[in-house]
Amino acid sequence: MFLSDTHLPQLLSPDTYTDRSWFEREVGSVLLPSWQLATTLAEIPRVGDFVTGRLLGRNVIVHHTAEGPRAFLNVCPHRLALLTSRPRGHQCRLTCQYHGWEFAPDGSTRRIPDAPSFRPLEKGAFGLHRLQCETLGQLVFVRFDDGTAPLADLFGERLDDVQRAVAGRHRLVVSWTRDVGANWKAIIENNLESYHVGVVHRATLGVMPDENLCDHEFSPVHSRFRAPGGVAGPIGDWQRTLLRRSGLEPSGTYHHCLFLPNLTVLWMDDIAAVQTFEPAAPDLTKVTFRGFALRGARPTPLSGGLLAWAARRHLLFWKRVWEEDLRLFPDLQAGLANPARPSSGLLSRREERIHHFQRWIRDRVTAGHPVGVGQDGNEP
């Protein structure tokens, strides 16, 4: 059941999906203070492995050290070159590609070629800019500001569910990234409603789910959608039999959570998927989908192999669903950017998670700047 009895207003005006200064305020007040998923342990499995990338417009490097993953700005303190432009690699000590400065696992300088010419410079001083870095299961998060809220706070009351969905029994099996020509909020909002299912996903998901079988949940840090879900037909039947035999009782339920502001996690009996929405510009977003397969509590080589095959097949189905949405976004952005509009938009009860999301963004971005938002209405 949905929580609102009535339709709801859009709380963010179309301008907030296109305007550069609003975008910069979002980055400063909403995104930089939040934990951002940077990588997974499966992508840096050995001590010494690193990955680089851009996150919220900043160049970042995550290095797997003996003490666990550590994150730094991928900018050398000497003359500010990128340490490396390789997307991934292996170095026991991070070493700058330009003049060869080497850095200890904590980012302090370890070896400076021709060090006497920098006299006086204290040993270890002038190191890399370290970012906060924490892991949950296989997920590695970074944060740019020096906030004190631990990563666990991102997930609130759903922490245990997410931990189960991305912990030891799950293995990362697929990862897809796409640069999408649309505002990050429009893409997340698409993930928050089942209203478009019968049109955009007619070929894959069919019809929108019955309201009486749906369940919404809201908290200050997340929203959740829950509905019946699972693989249909004979493959689903034997998949459920294998799960039972390997010690897990299938629930036949689909869960989808948004952890504010820009991380979604969905999980079902056999798979979990984590999506990040990383804004690069008001009309450009990097969307990354990482899919995990459940191996069962007590897998045998045969049941583990069959479950992994079925889970991968299930994730490829969700990739088709994902691509159906991706095709839509440029047209959604073009409509939002149109200078003349018939209205400022309207949300159905089925879209009430969008209202919750918009209110969270609006309250943070407009603290002290009451510009560019619509009227509040019924609160889900």
Taking the least distance from each CB to Fe ion, the nearer of 325 and 376 is 325
Taking the least distance from each CB to ligand FES, the nearer of 101 and 267 is 101
- Cα–Cα distance for residue pair 269/250, rounded to 1 Å: 6
Question: What are the tokens at 314?
Answer: 């299930």
Residues 6+ apart with CB under 8 A from 148: none
β 271-281/284-294 pair status: antiparallel
Q: Does 78 bind ligand FES (CB under 6 A)?
A: yes
Helices and strands in the chain, H and E counts: 8, 19
Q: How far is the CB of 355 from ligand FES (least distance, A)?
A: 48
- For residue 359, what is the DSSP state? H
Question: Of 15, 102, 161, 325, which one interacts with Fe ion (CB under 5 A)?
Answer: 325
- Cα–Cα distance for residue pair 279/261, rounded to 1 Å: 11
**From residue 35 to residue 74, what is the string marking binding to ligand FES with x (rule CB under 6 A)?**
----------------------------------------
Distance of CA 256 to the CA centre of its chain: 12
- For residue 349, what is the DSSP state? G
- Cα–Cα distance for residue pair 5/154, rounded to 1 Å: 29
Q: Does 86 bind ligand FES (CB under 6 A)?
A: no
Q: How far is the CB of 285 from Fe ion (least distance, A)?
A: 15
**230 conformational bin, left if phi > 0, alpha if psi -120 to 50, beta if neither:** left
Question: Of 20, 54, 79, 369, which one interacts with ligand FES (CB under 6 A)?
Answer: 79
Question: What are the tokens at 160?
Answer: 């245990």
Q: Is 334 helix (H, G, I), strand (E, B) or coil?
A: helix
Q: How far is the CB of 115 from ligand FES (least distance, A)?
A: 12
Taking the least distance from each CB to Fe ion, the nearer of 135 and 348 is 348
Q: How far is the CB of 97 from ligand FES (least distance, A)?
A: 7
Q: How far is the CB of 95 from ligand FES (least distance, A)?
A: 8
Question: Of 76, 154, 315, 354, which one interacts with ligand FES (CB under 6 A)?
Answer: 76
Residues forming contacts to Fe ion in the complex (CB under 5 A) are 325
Residues forming contacts to ligand FES in the complex (CB under 6 A) are 76, 78-79, 81, 96, 98-101
